[in-house]
Amino acid sequence: MPLPKYHQIYLVLREQLDEGRFADGLPGELALVAQFGVARVTVRRALEQLADEGLIARNPGRRTRALPPVAQASAGSESTGRANLRGLLENLVTMGLRTSVKVIDVATITASSQVAEALKLAPGDPVQKAVRVRSTREGPLSHITTYVPGDIARRFGRRELAKKPILMLLEESGVKVGRAHQTISARLADNVLAEHLEVSVGSALLAVRRLVYDDAERPVQWLHGFYRPDRYTYEMQLSRVGDVDAKVWVSQDVSAQFN
């Protein structure tokens, strides 16, 4: 059964709030009506749900603002169970070489608090923000936004990003890539993602967050990726290890498949 329209809008806005995209306040109701193509009452219901959960503050005559998020465990918390994705970086380079890319935007910006925290920078430090869409012969596959510290990113720009996977560019810039921490979840497409990935607003997408470190454990790239699940799958092979009373699954390798 399809989700109600107001709930789809609520989910999209909640994701955007979590990403820190409304630091200056949310768009007005009429702007959201135009963005999602729904009635004003539907937008209001979505905003009411966000307000009820303490995610936004609504004051008559003033712009709706995002409220600070509650403290959460950091992405690197050891209490979070996660698989060891051996072979992840190799698969990412392979996928980059087997797909075409369109560079939407490249700019040097000041790091927001979230970007600075992820990359271990000071808020306001320069970072390169690059937005790209990867495609296969069948059409758009993914919408990728990457953040790279400014001292590294000055060695490559739009032209280079259009030709090579960013991991190759990092290594050509002298970075010795070490490891990556990745999380995979789901989200609904907003109007921007829907346009670039050629899906309907509210369509389900695979959401990937990836933090890449060099061999000295310095974060060198933070990535936000959104993938069409009909064109991308992520596979693992697992083996059981341990004693009879305490066998667990561990990953043997990983592969990314796309069509």
The whole-number mean pLDDT for each consecutive block of 10 residues of the chain, a chain of 259 residues, reads: 73 78 84 90 90 83 72 35 38 56 93 92 94 89 93 92 86 87 88 91 90 92 91 70 56 49
Model confidence over 205-221: pLDDT tens digits?
Answer: 989 899 999 989 999 99
The pTM score is: 0.63
Say how far apart CA 105 and CA 129 lie, in whole Å. Answer: 8
Query: Nearest CA to 256 among 187, 221, 206, 213?
Result: 206
The answer to whether the beta carbons of residues 133 and 197 sit under 8 Å apart is yes
The answer to whether the beta carbons of residues 85 and 180 sit under 8 Å apart is yes
Say how far apart CA 145 and CA 83 lie, in whole Å. Answer: 24
Query: Nearest CA to 145 among 109, 199, 117?
Result: 109
Say how far apart CA 194 and CA 205 lie, in whole Å. Answer: 10
Report the pLDDT value the prediction gives residue 71, as an integer from 0 to 100: 35
For tokens 């087997």, what's the residue?
98
